[in-house]
Amino acid sequence: MNRKALHKISYGLYIVTSGQEGKFNGQVANSMFQVTSDPSTVAVSINKENYTHEFIKESRKFVISILSESAPMTLIGLFGFKSGRDVNKLQNVKTKAGITSVPIVLEHAIAYLEVELEKEMDCGTHTIFFGKIVDCDILTDAEPMTYAYYQKVKGGKSPKSAPTYIKEEPKTTGGTAAKYVCSVCGYVYDPVNGDPDNGVAPGTKFEDIPDSWTCPVCGADKSKFEKEI
């Protein structure tokens, strides 16, 4: 079985928020799709270990913000590689409350769907939540972020909790300047690309990045990076 075939499935990238009574959390999800048109229903696959899973189970409502290609790795890292058990992810992010009262993430979102949970399917490590869209709107006419764009252009990875996570084989590099891998989230720093979003010009060797620089995905500091071999 060639599991790389699974890489050919196309996805978008979304922030799913949920909760009630002043306690909310959110996470990145890519496994989301529309199920029916009338009534409008959607499904999303969420890892049972994720904090947001508890919130959806309890509150029986969730919001899906559809991310734009402009979404920076810091936003994706905050919602995709950090746990709401450790940090309040929604604290410094622009949101608004809709009719479900679940915060709708507005930053780098092009549209949102407010959903009331109708059914859930136990899928082992994950639960698929099915729900009816009770409100939705477009925020901007920018292009949606696809998972391919996230991986190819942004250099993004799947966290281990994602349905799409595949353990990668170690690679060897042919270039002169080495790539470095974040041991926390798997982000690869490639000196060819640098990290222009965070002031590191293309062509900068890892060794020459200031010590104040942190992983653009998960926020880990430089010491957490290992040379790719």
Candidates 37-45, 144-152, 167-175, 184-192: pick the segment binding Fe ion (CB under 5 A): 184-192
Name the minimum Å distance from CB 184 to Fe ion. Answer: 4
Q: Which of residues 123-182 bind Fe ion (CB under 5 A)?
A: 182
Please say which residue, 128 or 184, places its beta carbon nearer to Fe ion: 184
Task: Tell me the per-residue interface mask from 37 to 76 with Fe ion, x by CB under 5 A, - otherwise.
Answer: ----------------------------------------
What value, to the nearest 5°, has the Cα angle with vertex 47 and ends 43 and 51? 105
Give the C-alpha separation, 83 to 100, whole Å.
23
- Verify binding: residue 78, Fe ion, rule CB under 5 A: no
- Verify binding: residue 29, Fe ion, rule CB under 5 A: no
- Verify binding: residue 220, Fe ion, rule CB under 5 A: yes
**List of residues contacting Fe ion (CB under 5 A):** 182, 184-185, 187, 215, 217-218, 220
